Amino acid sequence: MKNILDNIVADKRKEVDLRQSIIPVKQLEASVLFDRETYSLSHALKNSTSGIIAEHKRRSPSKSVINQSLNVQDVAKGYESAGVCGMSVLTDGKYFGGSLDDLLLARASSQLPLLRKEFIINPYQIIEAKAYGADVILLIAAILSRDEIKAFSELAKSLELDVLLEVHNDEELQKSVMPSLDMLGVNNRNLKTFEVSLETSKQLSEQIPNDFVKVSESGISSVNAIKELRPYGYKGFLIGENFMKTDNPGISAKKFINELNE
């Protein structure tokens, strides 16, 4: 039986083929943003007291609608004034209601390191990320071979983009560790069942070499969750729905960070 990830990837292949046929790489490389100096998320996380990467997410396959009414500029400005380390912007349309325009608007509204949160299956999407103002790309080990992870991460580094690699289990982690990554993210959500457990981050923490910034993703909805994970070496915490399900994600993030730093 196909899981949701298989469906997303199948749709993504069609979508990327279509986009490549419309906008050639040369056109992306001519973008105004293509030559801008990028901000390093891994560097920001290493030097942060909070480690929060806050997300802009309208909906998701597991939760359906989260928040459709906010505009990206307000969210980006709010997150920046709250003092988050970086912002994750979902650019998948069909399943998450995002777009590359969201990335452009976030870039125009803030100087935060921006992560293009996307299902990357083609080098074209990495060039696209750079052209639309991203500083970081996400690679998902569950949908890529070791050779693809290597090729994609090396391409990203050549474009001065940070690379966050996401794993769900030990097998994915073992095939993925390589010098062209900056951050290793452990997703606490089981993609087959959608169940979330912080134990995943705890169990995998020892397997992650200290050369990489450790990031925990999914299911982090309380200050206590972060305090629980810090002793395991985590410096980054990706928070998606927690802020977005409120009327003002920036204020929610500010309260959260203040409570964390008390």
Is 207 in contact with 170 (CB distance < 8 Å)? yes
Is 160 catalytic? The answer is no
Is 218 catalytic? The answer is yes
> Can you give the CATH number for the domain in which 175 is found?
3.20.20.70
| Number of domain units in the chain | 1
**pLDDT class of 59 with cuts at 50, 70, 90:** confident
Residue 42 has pLDDT above 60, yes or no: yes
Of 50, 55, 176, 252, catalytic? 55
Position 1 scores a pLDDT of 45
Of 12, 42, 57, 128, catalytic? 57
Buried b (16+ CB within 10 A) or exposed e, 143-173: bbeeebbbebbebbeebebbbbbbbbeeebb
φ/ψ (deg, to 5) at 207? -80, -15
The end-to-end CA distance of the chain, in Å, is 47
Is 228 catalytic? The answer is no
Position 94 scores a pLDDT of 94
Is 206 catalytic? The answer is no
Is 167 in contact with 141 (CB distance < 8 Å)? yes
Is 29 catalytic? The answer is no
Of 130, 217, 241, 242, catalytic? 217
Position 2 scores a pLDDT of 60
Which structural domain, as residue segments, surrounds residue 249? 4-260
Position 121 scores a pLDDT of 98
Of 117, 130, 214, 254, catalytic? 117
Position 69 scores a pLDDT of 66
pLDDT in tens, 199-250: 999 999 999 999 999 999 998 999 999 999 999 999 999 998 889 989 999 9
**More confident site: 65 or 200:** 200
Residue 117 has pLDDT above 90, yes or no: yes
Of 118, 166, 172, 241, catalytic? 166
Is 14 catalytic? The answer is no
Give percent of the chain with pLDDT exceeding 90. Answer: 85
What's the predicted TM-score (pTM) here?
0.96
Of 42, 122, 153, 187, catalytic? 187
Is 187 catalytic? The answer is yes
Q: How far apart are CA 50 and CA 159, in angstroms?
A: 28
Of 218, 241, 242, 252, catalytic? 218
Q: Which residue has the tokens 């569950």?
A: 142
